[in-house]
Chain A
Amino acid sequence: MTSSLATLVGSDLGIGIGLRTTHYETILEERPAVDFFEILSENYMHTGGRPVRVLDEIAAHYAIVMHGVSMNIGSTDPLDRDYLRQLKALQQRCGARWISDHICWTGVEGKNLHDLLPLPYTKGALRHLIERVRAVQDILEQPLVLENPSTYLQFAGPDYTEPEFLSELATATGCGLLMDVNNVFVCASNHDFDAEGYLRGVPWDHVVYFHLAGHTTYETHRLDTHDGPVCDEVWDLYRIAHELSGGRSTLLEWDADIPDFQAVHDEARKALRHRDPKSTVTDVVAASGSAGAPR
């Protein structure tokens, strides 16, 4: 494997932002001080036009990590080896530090439903997932980083809680974990469990980075929409997660109703205040005045 899990876990890249098309011009023209960008892998696959050229330029100045939505790791369909090869080629092109996706399935019988669908947390599903993660890691030649999903239902008769499932999976495969703190909060609210207790069950020695995002609250449930700022409860959880982990790279996602780059950047930088209670946003601006971390 090209990078060990220890290397990934030990690489605190700082505070990053999800790279979105609407911000391309600002980033290319102003080169804002951002520690790293996370790309949506599929936006740069199966295309040869502007997206890959823009990525080339951004990757020349910033650290990049990859985050995908179509690996379909939990499906009972065969692995899409062509997709995995293209994923690896993209990583080689942009020098991404790691490749992440979600603990979910996205389709079956050859169809892609383009949604992050829940898995039952059973022994059988765990065995299936372990086998698939190992196969993917053999192809990618590196630890795969997998994110805890937002879910809107749970299957009856589970053998594990979600943190237990993550621990078993990570221990058996050596994979990395992407801890989405907003997803923890959304799921805790939807499924009536204690979010802080969840975090205390996370295998932190496998957690490579954090995700933060906004969500939408309905009368009956919360939906992971990434369409607004991070809510106070999620910041509180992030502070706890930061303490439990000892510090990890942190990434803000904003995918709908996306404001201008500065607003997204300002929201992301709030993470520094929660990582270090003595810090203020003003201090952060001064501290991060250099260009992004070089590759």
Chain B
Amino acid sequence: MSAPELRLLQRWFAGVVEHPSTADVALAESAVDALIPEAQVARGEILAPNPRLDAAAMLQIYNGGYLARLVEALQGDYGAVAHVLGADGFQDLVARYLAEFPSRHPNLNRLGRCLPAFIARDDGLPHRAFVAELAELELACARAFDAPEFEPLAVDQFGDVAPEQWMSARFTSNPSLQLLAFEHPVDEFYQPWKEGSPVDVPEPLSSHVAVFRKDERVWRQRFTPSMHAVLSALVGGQPLGEALAAAEEGEPVAEWFQSFAADGLFVSVEFGA
């Protein structure tokens, strides 16, 4: 068997394995049949005979394992979404998703990166707008878990920096930090689900959540709109003085900043002239 023949065989095999239906349906499908005709398979020219299983049944072991394995992998990252949709609904979603976004990375932890965006335009999905935001939160948790290693900035080492100098300081956020703005109270749903006491899908209500890694654990913190605006400005590279101005008058911005720093949300700082 030459390399081109091997490539043809692998393309055919892959076509059968990833087919959303079953192996026998895949074998008859024109795109698969065009690579290796079903009749050739039936004549035993491709697969060695097995007294207990015909060709389709042998291939079905691989076809069935493919979806089951990837559903299980995605359920690990999107457990709350799977809870909302139910086992069958989630499996159907994954099958549609894989047809458009098959894995192209050696690591399964990248498989679900496009799922929130896919859900957002998946017509007919129950509670679609909420589920898309829930998926976004779960993806943020997965990304925070896998974010590159970092060393948090120890702000207290800058004790001799004058207060006015701080106002010009620009911060670099740690690579795990993600700021999320939702139209539903997503974290208010997610937390009870995680604790094993799921609640009903909520009605729309604006909410803001920060997701980040601290001490090798992933944290979620609910923010007010003002806190979200201040931290977004800092993450966007605005000097501290300008970022704090995004808050409403009288809000405890200094405490917020100390809290951000204590949570290790920054990795470096540059002071302006």
Residues of A participating in the B interface, judged by any CB pair closer than 8 Å: 42, 45-50, 52-53, 70, 72, 75-76, 80, 83, 105, 107-115, 117, 120, 122-125, 127-128, 152-158, 190-192, 219-221, 223
A124-B216 Cα distance, complex, nearest whole Å? 48
- Which of B51, B109, B218 is packed against the most chain A CB atoms within 10 Å? B109
Given A48-B147, A76-B10, A191-B50, decide whether A153 and B70 contact each other with a Cβ distance below 8 A. no
What residues of chain B lie closer than 8 Å to A76, measured between beta carbons? 3, 6-7, 10
Residue of A72, A117, A155 touching B48 (CB-CB under 8 A):
A155
Closest 3 CB pairs of A and B: A70-B106, A124-B1, A76-B7
A120-B6 Cα distance, complex, nearest whole Å? 8
A124-B2 Cα distance, complex, nearest whole Å? 5
- In the complex the two chains form, is B103's CB within 8 Å of A114's CB? yes
| B61 contacts chain A at the CB level, 8 A cutoff | yes
A72-B107 Cα distance, complex, nearest whole Å? 12
Given A70-B107, A221-B61, decide whether A114 and B69 contact each other with a Cβ distance below 8 A. yes
Minimum distance in angstroms from B265 CB to a CB of chain A: 16
- In the complex the two chains form, is B5's CB within 8 Å of A124's CB? yes
* Interface SS, A side: loop
Q: Report the contact-size class of chain B (Cβ under 8 Å from the partner).
A: 35 or more
Residue of B18, B45, B110, B145 touching A49 (CB-CB under 8 A):
B145
Given A76-B10, A107-B14, A153-B50, decide whether A53 and B216 contact each other with a Cβ distance below 8 A. yes
Residue of B1, B46, B57, B66 touching A220 (CB-CB under 8 A):
B57
Given A115-B66, A156-B48, A220-B53, decide whether A42 and B14 contact each other with a Cβ distance below 8 A. no
Residue of A50, A105, A123, A127 touching B10 (CB-CB under 8 A):
A105
- In the complex the two chains form, is A115's CB within 8 Å of B5's CB? no
What residues of chain B lie closer than 8 Å to A80, measured between beta carbons? 106
Minimum distance in angstroms from B77 CB to a CB of chain A: 13
- In the complex the two chains form, is B10's CB within 8 Å of A110's CB? no
A190-B52 Cα distance, complex, nearest whole Å? 9
A128-B2 Cα distance, complex, nearest whole Å? 8
| B194 contacts chain A at the CB level, 8 A cutoff | no
What residues of chain A lie closer than 8 Å to B149, measured between beta carbons? 48-49, 52
A128-B55 Cα distance, complex, nearest whole Å? 25
What residues of chain B lie closer than 8 Å to A223, measured between beta carbons? 61
Given A49-B213, A53-B216, decide whether A75 and B109 contact each other with a Cβ distance below 8 A. no
Minimum distance in angstroms from B65 CB to a CB of chain A: 6
What residues of chain A lie closer than 8 Å to B150, measured between beta carbons? 48
What residues of chain B lie closer than 8 Å to A112, measured between beta carbons? 102-106
- In the complex the two chains form, is B61's CB within 8 Å of A117's CB? no
Minimum distance in angstroms from B178 CB to a CB of chain A: 14
- What 1/0 flags go to B116-148 for Cβ under 8 Å of A? 000000000000000000000000000011111
Minimum distance in angstroms from B17 CB to a CB of chain A: 5
Residue of A107, A114, A128 touching B70 (CB-CB under 8 A):
A114
A110-B216 Cα distance, complex, nearest whole Å? 33
| B31 contacts chain A at the CB level, 8 A cutoff | no
Given A42-B106, A70-B107, A221-B53, decide whether A115 and B65 contact each other with a Cβ distance below 8 A. yes
- In the complex the two chains form, is B52's CB within 8 Å of A220's CB? yes
Q: List 27 A-B contacts (CB under 8 A).
A: A45-B106, A46-B105, A49-B144, A49-B146, A49-B149, A49-B176, A53-B216, A76-B7, A76-B10, A108-B7, A111-B103, A113-B66, A114-B70, A114-B103, A115-B62, A115-B65, A117-B10, A117-B13, A120-B6, A124-B2, A124-B5, A127-B3, A128-B6, A154-B48, A156-B46, A157-B45, A158-B48
Minimum distance in angstroms from A76 CB to a CB of chain B: 4
What residues of chain B lie closer than 8 Å to A124, measured between beta carbons? 1-3, 5-6
Q: Which parts of B71-85 form the interface with A (CB within 8 Å)?
A: 73
Minimum distance in angstroms from A209 CB to a CB of chain B: 23
For residue A47, which residue of chain B has the nearest CB? B146
- In the complex the two chains form, is B147's CB within 8 Å of A49's CB? yes
A194-B147 Cα distance, complex, nearest whole Å? 48
